[in-house]
A and B are shown apart, each in its own frame.
Chain A
Amino acid sequence: MSERSFPWRSVLGSAFLATQVALVLVAPALAPSLPRWAPNDTLVDYRISVRAGSRELSPAEVSERYALPATGSFELPKAALLELVRRREEQLGPTPARTVDVAYSVNGRPEVHWSQNAP
């Protein structure tokens, strides 16, 4: 079949663009952790601490756990940061029992804590 007979590139291109348009328009309300072409629009200062059993993980261990520095700045929406932590904890399974605390401040606002206990 010749390329002229069916413009598959245009069809794929349209679908590719339509997916992104949907993300741009819908993601902020329905799924704020999804990518939606909002680069560097938020400044989240955060600090992650994890207590597993009776032991507090070191910053290096926290960094290895989430592939993020234990303390730092994140230029994506806070929902993306919290979703990253939540999903990672989900991946790690129910044991050992642990408490995760994310202290974060969005655009210089007062610090807020987000905690999760597992299991």
Chain B
Amino acid sequence: MVAERAVSLRNPFRCGGTELPAPLLLSAKLLVLLVWRAGIGQSVPVPSNGHLPFLELLPAAPYVLALKATLAVTALALLFNRRPRLCALVAGACVLGADLSSRAYFAYNRAFLGCVLIAIGLTEAGRRPWVVRLQIALVYFGAGFNKLTDVDWRSGRFMAVWMSRFCVQPGYAALSGALPDGWLSRAMSWATIATELSIAVCFLVPRLHRVGIWLGLGLHTGLLVLTDRVFGVFFYAAPASYLAFIEWPAMIPIWESGASEGAKSLLRRLDLDGRLEWTTSGSPSESPPPWPFLRIRWGERTREGLELVRTLLLATPLSFFGGFAVLTIPQPASIHFRKWIALAILIALSPPTAWLARRFVPRANSESETDPSPA
């Protein structure tokens, strides 16, 4: 039994059963995949003219080799569920150390990735991951605070220059031209400042975590759609880090009434961590659930129909690995599809769409309680 568990834990798509909560381990795995996908391990610079001058005292070639090897080993170990906290801490220190070792190489998006991994590694076993949550809130506070103290942000000057350089949506220029001079860039500046500071506040208040998550996803997807830029690794790292604010139930009781064998088999295959508890008695409702003819108990709530599909998608690590793969596929120069896929995913899973689905898709059981927030 122990050997069987050890073997199953070596599956890199499994996120349960370790010293880290499943969503936090999933976050760490997505971040180290990003390290690999963005080639951060390969691009480690020789320390020179950096923020950590003591690194320049080390012999350059052995230092770079050791850093690359450590990063590769800890990333692999983390993916395969071996000492994930320690590996996240060491991998994060490698990424942050490399970023700070050269002023020319330094980029905030890599620093963010490194800091979040370090903060995941500093999570105490059995406690809420407050270090990583504060880390993410601090980044948004710092970004909003810096903009608020910058005259070019308050006047909209930066936004006007930056958008004229990077915006790929012709609608922006048309709208900007139709409005009084500088109005749109000033409005967008203040909207950005307000959003970043709001995200920071939401991430500090537990009952607003989900609002913060959707605000953050909206902000980053909006920037991607407007500019077609992913800001190094930031577009991927920020949403991956939001998993630190998510808590999944240890077990999810599930009832079926007429579901196809294919659907049940698929769910069993996707449930790598064995959290679905197939039950025949004690259904929260007598009436049969609507398509896909399944019902789950999620904490104190019951979910069925499209809401069940959405909840399970947002609570299955494989969905996130799949989303990561789709969004990081290299896009050809002529077809820039990434931003539209990201926008489609955001819209499909967002609370307004869930609300519309509840409002307009007929339900078999109107008494079942619902929760507008995602998993």
Contacts and interface: CB of A to CB of B under 8 A. Distances in A.
Interface string A19-44: 01100110010000011111111110
Interface in A43-78: 43, 66-68, 73, 76
B134 A39 contact: no
Interface stretch (B136-144, B256-264, B270-278, B328-336): B136-144
A88 to B, nearest CB: 5
B137 to A, nearest CB: 10
A107 B131 contact: no
A9 B49 contact: no
B253 to A, nearest CB: 32
Nearest to A108: B161
B321 interface: no
B158 A41 contact: yes
Interface in B132-168: 134-135, 138-139, 141-143, 145-147, 149-150, 152-153, 157-158, 160-162, 165
B70 interface: no
A10 B218 CA distance: 31
A16 interface: yes
A39 B149 contact: no
B122 A84 contact: no
A12 interface: yes
Interface string A89-109: 001000000000000001110
A9 B124 contact: yes
Interface centre among B122, B160, B231, B234 (most CB of A within 10 A): B122
Interface SS, B side: helix
Contacts of B135: 16-17, 20
A42 to B, nearest CB: 7
Given A37-B139, A43-B158, A67-B105, A13 B131 contact: yes
Interface string B90-132: 0000000000101111101101100100110111110000110
Interface residues of A, number: 38
Nearest to A63: B104
B56 to A, nearest CB: 9
A40 B231 contact: yes
Contacts of A91: 48-49
B268 interface: no
A47 to B, nearest CB: 16
Contacts of B124: 3, 7, 9-10
B138 A17 contact: yes
Interface string B219-235: 00000000000010010
Contacts of B153: 41
A37 B146 CA distance: 8
A109 to B, nearest CB: 8
A106 to B, nearest CB: 8
Interface of A: 3, 7, 9-10, 12-14, 16-17, 20-21, 24-25, 28, 34-43, 66-68, 73, 76, 80, 83-84, 87-88, 91, 106-108
Interface of B: 45, 48-49, 51, 100, 102-106, 108-109, 111-112, 115, 118-119, 121-125, 130-131, 134-135, 138-139, 141-143, 145-147, 149-150, 152-153, 157-158, 160-162, 165, 231, 234
Q: Which 10 A-B pairs have the closest CB atoms?
A: A37-B142, A13-B131, A67-B104, A39-B108, A38-B146, A108-B161, A13-B122, A24-B142, A84-B103, A9-B122
